[in-house]
Amino acid sequence: MNNNYCCIPLLFAVLLSLFAGCQSEQKQDDGLISLNEIKDLKTRQYAVEGQVLYENNCANCHQKNGTGLGKLIPPLVKADFMLEDTGRTIHLMKHGIAGEITVNGIVYNQPMPGNARLTNLELAEIATYIYSVFGGEEQRIEVDQVRSHLND
């Protein structure tokens, strides 16, 4: 009878690996990357810190997974508005934006308040996170880039 119980951990490990394999295939299909897939250590560090900041400052509206809120709040996942202009994105994170914008062919007209209390480093970390994970391509945004975009 004890022999039957020794197979349970092995069965659990096999099922867990199958489940993990299905999950990683799903992430590849949507074109996004996970934090674990970021190869450059400094970029990953920025993105990890950026994820925490994003979840505390941005996810309430843009959602934890970056999909936005229907036609009220635009998505960040593969968002052409975000991907077209890093400087504009950084500027609106700090200072907000009002008026109509078009994201992936959909018009949004909900003002977004800025977050003036975020430091340049925090903005760089959030930007690194959203561009790497939601943009689907590993990209580190440096503090000097943030400073330059905010001084334009």
Let me know how long the chain is: 152
**Token pair 């996170």 in the structure block, residue:** 129
Contact in structure between 75 and 130 (CB atoms under 8 Å): no
> Has residue 61 got a pLDDT over 90?
yes
pLDDT at 23: 42
pTM of the model: 0.80
Contact in structure between 75 and 68 (CB atoms under 8 Å): yes
> Has residue 8 got a pLDDT over 60?
no
Q: What is the CATH number of domain 31-151?
A: 1.10.760.10
pLDDT at 5: 54
Residue 32 pLDDT level (bands cut at 50, 70, 90): confident
